[in-house]
Amino acid sequence: MMALQRLRLTAWDRGIVLLLILTLLFGGMSSELFLTGDNLNFVISDVSEVLLIAFPMALLIIVRDIDLSVASSLTLASAVIGITYEATLSMPIAVVAGLATGSLCGLVNGLLVTKLGLSSLAVTIGTLALYRGLCFVLLGDMPISSLPMEWTDLAFYPIGSTFLPWSVVLLALFGALFWYLLHGTRFGRWCYAIGQGEEAAAYSGIPVDRVRLLLFVMTGFMAGLAGLVYTLRFASASPDGAMGYELIVIAAVLFGGVAIAGGIGTMWGVIAAVLVWGASRSLLQLAGFDANALVIVSGLLLLVSVAIPQLISRLREQLGHRSPRGGNPTRGEASLPSGNEVVHPSPAGAGHDQGSN
Amino acid sequence: MAGNLLSVEGAYKRFGGVHALAGASLEVSAGEIVGLLGENGAGKSTLVKTLAGLHSLDAGTITLQGRPFSQGNPRSAREQGIAVIYQEPSLFPDLSLAENVFVGRQPTTGGRVDWRGMVSQTQGLFDGLGIDLNPLRPARGLSIADQQMVEIVKALSIDASLIIMDEPSAALSAAEVAQLMTVARRLKDQGRGVVYISHRLDEVTELCDSVTVMRDGATVATAAVAQIDTTQIVRWMVGREITEMFPKFDAEVGDVVLSVKGLTRAGVFHDISFDVRRGEIVALAGLVGAGRSEVVRAIFGIDHHDSGTVSVSGSVLRNGSPSAAMSAGVALVPEDRRLQGLFMPAAISRNIAMTVLARLRSRLLLRGISERRVATDWAGRLQLKYANIEDPVERLSGGNQQKVVLAKWLATDPALLIVDEPTRGIDVGTKAEVHRLLSEQAVRGLAVLMVSSDLPEVLGMADRVLVMREGRLVAEIARADATQESVMTAATISGALA
């Protein structure tokens, strides 16, 4: 228990981790192909873009912002990688250009949100279309697929004699980095604080807009990195790639216990949620379902992650437990992502008298 | 009691393991104003919420106009004739006042909303109470006092027999409080019952016919106002004698810590200049809306200023940067502790440690244990009452929440402590503790700048009183010369004392 709490796992994310273990066990029992090295290699490769973007997206949603343009940024970065490689025949230059493109996409989003004070939802719906449009302008209808083999092989070749694809290096590196950022630094505490009360954060000397801007840039950068992995994995830069990935990322982040209203969430929950999504997809594929059924999985995850905490808190109310946070049985920052709490008809009502009497 | 309107007897209510009500009673007659008093956490709000239909009692009886009151349904509570006016009303900002008054039950003629009737009825109710507002204007932009008036009118429009005012005066200026009292007396004259909740005892003794005092969920005393004095009320509320309301220690006044020169924010405040020295408590007095909070916000850098300078210990602060102000040693305990001071759902430890995270990091990792350690230390020093340092602050009472905000800022070891309405809405006992704390900090060599609308607090605590009126600094009054009259005259009358 103590060890778990050191990892900052709380009720909801512990449930997701458990669900991941159950999914893997169930998968191993129901299909002998599931727990093979090849399939696990495939599952990890398959989730790598989503996971890379989910890391910063978790932080962004914790501060009560959102970025819907990530899939378009990913594809734009991919397009720039393809074009730059064609022009220079240098992959390192193409990679740098791709990452810069992603970061720039994030910077534009962040500046529009923080400098003009626009809602991130509205801004990134706009740039979702804008960045995607730019991909078509840059590439036309012609995907670029003349990428060097020694790079494209990296995307799914295993490391040495293991089954792990090389992208695991990126996942582990950035997973650790974002875990540290969220749970081990002042910056992470600031993110929670901004999500829990933006005004109080400003009054605590937290540079709120700078934090938000930085998170948008990080998200853009990670979308660019995901764009690189995507380009190499499919050995092609095409303008219609990664369609709908933004919703998968957001569904997974919410499923991982990050509250859509901000201020709550852990990195472990998010990582486990993405893996549950990937494993269930693989299971469905192995069971012979087609691609459309796979889309349904992410839709269901999203609904489940929004509905269940609501149902739980409603149930608690009916049972007469007056739970302080719509159901937060344990310590730490995470509680269930709850929407409605006990109804306070007046904003003043919450302040006095109740609680410690 | 004859003409009894409301009678609550033997009320018990438990939330989990907490007894919010443990033997509370309350009697209100028609045409009577009852002051309901008690420290934060005494159970007043739970009782009010029960009467508003938000909670049901575990045990006890409530009788309204001779009939048992049906509990647990806000709508039915209103229909039975109980209306509650909250400290911060929640009107629909974009609806007209008339629509707000009749929201959800607009009068209709033949299925269509009778707009003209609605407006004229609202106007009639406004006139009856002497309220000068246009029923057609939107609620957006109304002062809190006017919003409360609209709520009162709403209560009248449903012909409420009992009107409960839950700390209505906490955010009002003296003039607005006077108007509120006038309206409350009219309600009384109309034969309605009024329950008036306030922490300001002078208001209660001036307005109310009787007082009911609660402590720890139980009613400990009920008395006619004519037969008691405030000392007795305070003794009932805290269960002990508060010997000194404003503990003021002599501090050695040293070098200038804060120096404000010609500070101006167009349309808000103009040409504000003053100094605060080590060991000094300087009060910034004036009416609500005079620009006091705006000045301290600009000093701390929450708002930008247009011209002038703010220097702390000799160096000029960057305009509009709270983090620069913090590193120069400025701390601001803001006006609205729920919105500006605290992260309500977050742990007490997180809240206290939030300002000192930079020095808590050990071996590259910021760990919860170091936050808890610093928080526990400060919680102990300020005698915070809490169950677990990781409980969310929203579970604490108002006074204890304010201590958390103070702890959060004292932990930064500031040179200048700015407190904006440091004791608003907190109980007498904690209020005295906060005052003692401020005095102690001044003795330790802090410079303290205090914004307060509480005149006794200003007079009791301040070495010097600066008075603002309409965005300008109009008077500086030494402790020896500061009286209620001198401060109020400067705050309200133009041309006086400048």
Q: To probe the interface with A, which of B51, B164, B339, B357 has the most A CB atoms within 10 Å?
A: B357
Which among A196, A202, A349 has CB closest to B302? A202
CA distances for A192 relative to A40, A43, A146, B350, angstroms: 34, 31, 44, 10
Chain-centre distance of CA B307, in angstroms?
A: 32
Nearest residue of chain A to residue B338 (CA atoms): A351
Count of the separate structural domains present in chain B: 2
**Which run of H or of E encompasses B21?**
strand B18-29
Q: How far is B315 from chain A (nearest CA, A)?
A: 19
Q: Does residue B313 lie within any of the structural domains?
A: yes
Task: Report the residue of A189, A204, A344 to disrupt the B interface, i.e. the one with the largest count of B CBs within 10 Å.
Answer: A204
| pLDDT of amino acid B111 | 79
Tokens encoding B99: 């629509």
Q: Do B87 and A346 touch (CB under 8 A)?
A: yes
**Cβ–Cβ gap A347/B88 under 8 Å:** yes
Give me the residue from B86, B344, B355 closest to A205, CB to CB: B355
The number of residues making up chain B comes to: 498
What are A7's two structure tokens? 């990892």
Q: Closest CB to A193: pick one of B15, B343, B396.
A: B343
Which residue in B258, B252, B297 sits closest to B276, CA to CA?
B258
Residues B412 and B325 in one domain: yes
User: Would you call A347 and B343 a contact, using CB atoms and an 8 Å cutoff?
Assistant: no
Q: Find the residue in B nearest to A352 (Cα).
A: B398
Is B396's CB within 8 Å of A322's CB?
no
Under DSSP, is residue A315 helix (H, G, I), strand (E, B) or coil? helix
Do residues B154 and B146 make contact, with C-beta atoms less than 8 angstroms apart? no
Residues belonging to chain A with any Cβ–Cβ distance to chain B shorter than 8 Å: 180, 184-186, 188-190, 192-193, 196-197, 199-207, 263, 321-322, 324-325, 328, 331-333, 335, 343, 345-357
Provide, as residue numbers in chain A, all residues whose Cβ is less than 8 Å from the Cβ of B44. 352-353
Sign for the pseudo-dihedral over CA of B265, B142, A195, A273: negative
What's the confidence (pLDDT) of residue A82? 95
Q: Cα separation of B452 and B419, whole Å? A: 8
Give the residue from B14, B57, B58, B90 with the most A CB atoms within 10 Å of its CB, the best one to mutate.
Answer: B90
**Ramachandran quadrant class, B421 (left: phi over 0; alpha: psi -120 to 50; beta: rest):** left
| Residue B66 domain flag | yes
Which residues does A355 contact at the CB level (< 8 Å), separation at least 6?
Answer: B18, B41, B394, B395, B396, B397
Q: How far is A329 from chain B (nearest CA, A)?
A: 11
Q: Give the count of Cβ contacts less than 8 A between chain A and B.
A: 158
Cα separation, B20 vs B426, whole angstroms: 18
Place of tokens 């990530």: A70
C-alpha span between A334 and A313 (Å, rounded): 15
User: Rounded to whole angstroms, how far apart are CA atoms A222 and A53?
Assistant: 6
B216, B269: one domain:
no
- The helix, strand and coil proportions of chain B, stated in percent and rounded to the nearest 5, come to 35, 25, 35
From CA B297, how far away is CA B291, in angstroms rounded? Answer: 10
Count other Cβ atoms within 10 Å, centred on residue B248. Answer: 17
Residue A256: CA count within 13 A, CB half-sphere: 29
Tell which residue, B424, B422, B426, has the closest CA to residue B400. Answer: B426
Please give the structure tokens belonging to residue A50. 């989503």
Under-70 pLDDT residues of chain B: 1-3, 16-18, 40-41, 240-245, 493-498
**A259-313 residue pLDDT tens:** 888 999 999 999 999 999 899 888 888 888 887 777 777 778 778 877 777 777 6
User: Considering only CB atoms, which chain A residues are within 8 Å of B88?
Assistant: 346-348
CA end-to-end distance (rounded Å), chain A: 31
Cα separations in angstroms, A238 against A25, A150, B268, B487 = 37, 20, 56, 74
Helices A208-234 & A37-62, crossing angle to 10 degrees? 160
Closest residue on chain A to B341 (Cα): A200
> CA–CA separation, B397 vs B427, rounded Å?
9
Q: At B453, which CATH number?
A: 3.40.50.300
**CB-side neighbour CA atoms (13 Å) of B63:** 12
Q: Which residue has the tokens 């048992």?
A: B68
Q: Which residues of chain A carry a pLDDT beneath 70?
A: 1-10, 156, 313, 316-357
User: Nearest-CA residue of chain A relative to B84?
Assistant: A346
Amino acid identity, position B407 = A
Which of B341, B343, B385 has its CB closest to that of A356? B385
Q: Which of B51, B78, B220, B339 to mutate to test the interface with A (most CBs of A within 10 A)?
A: B339
User: What tokens does A194 get?
Assistant: 């901004």
Indicate whether B215 and B337 sit together in one domain. Answer: no
Of A185, A343, A346, the CB nearest to B86: A346
Q: Does the distance separating the beta carbons of B358 and A205 come in below 8 Å? A: no
CB burial of A174-212 (b: ≥16 within 10 Å; e: otherwise) equals bbeebbbbbbbbbbbbbbbbbbbbbbbbbbbbbbbbebb
How many angstroms separate the CA of residue B428 from the nearest CA in chain A? 14
Residue B378 lies in a domain: yes
A184, A207, A350: residue with CB nearest B366:
A184
Rounded-to-integer distance, Cα A273 and Cα A252, Å: 6
Smallest CA-to-CA distance from B394 within A263, A258, A5, A266 is with: A263
Q: Which domain holds residue B323?
A: 256-492
Q: How many residues does chain A have?
A: 357
* The two structure tokens encoding residue B180: 């509120």
Query: Does one domain contain both B202 and B288?
Result: no
A355/B397 CB distance under 8 A: yes
Instruction: Name the burial class of residue A257, with classes exposed (0-12), middle (13-18) and buried (19+) by CB atoms within 10 angstroms of its CB.
Output: buried
Cβ contact, residue pair B41, A199, below 8 Å:
no
> How many CB atoms within 10 Å of residue B264?
16
Angstrom distance (rounded) from CA B127 to CA B116: 16
Considering only CB atoms, A192 lies closest to which of B322, B341, B346, namely B346
Rg of chain A in Å (alpha carbons): 21
Residues B193 and B299 in one domain: no
CA dist A131 and A138 (Å) reads 10
Whether domain A2-318 has CATH 3.30.10: the reply is: no
Task: Compare CB distances from A353 to B40, B84, B322 and report the shortest one's residue.
Answer: B40
Where does residue B102 fall: left (phi above 0), alpha (psi -120 to 50 degrees), or beta otherwise?
alpha
Can you give the pLDDT at residue A288? 84
Q: Which of B56, B73, B303, B340 to mutate against chain A (most A CBs within 10 Å)?
A: B340
Contacts of B330 in chain A (CB under 8 A): none
> Residues B335, B399: one domain?
yes
* B297, B229: one domain: no
Pick the residue from chain A with its C-alpha nearest to B325.
A205
Neighbours of B14 (CB within 10 A): 15
Q: For chain B, what is the radius of gyration of the CA atoms?
A: 24
Residue A190's closest chain B neighbor by CA? B354
Contacts of B224 (CB under 8 A, 6+ apart): B209, B210
CA distance B121 to B154: 11
Residue type, A291: A
Residue B246: half-sphere exposure toward Cβ, Cα within 13 Å: 14
* Interchain contact, B87 vs A348, CB within 8 Å: yes
**pLDDT at position A7:** 42
Q: Supply the pTM of this predicted model.
A: 0.76
Residue A296 has what DSSP assignment? H
- Closest partner residue to B400 (CB to CB) among A184, A192, A356 is A356
Calculate how close chain A gets to B381, using CA atoms only, in Å: 19
Going by C-alpha positions, the residue among A328, A187, A314, A10 that lies closest to residue B346 is A328
C-alpha distance from A218 to closest chain B C-alpha (Å): 21
Nearest CA in chain B to A353: B41
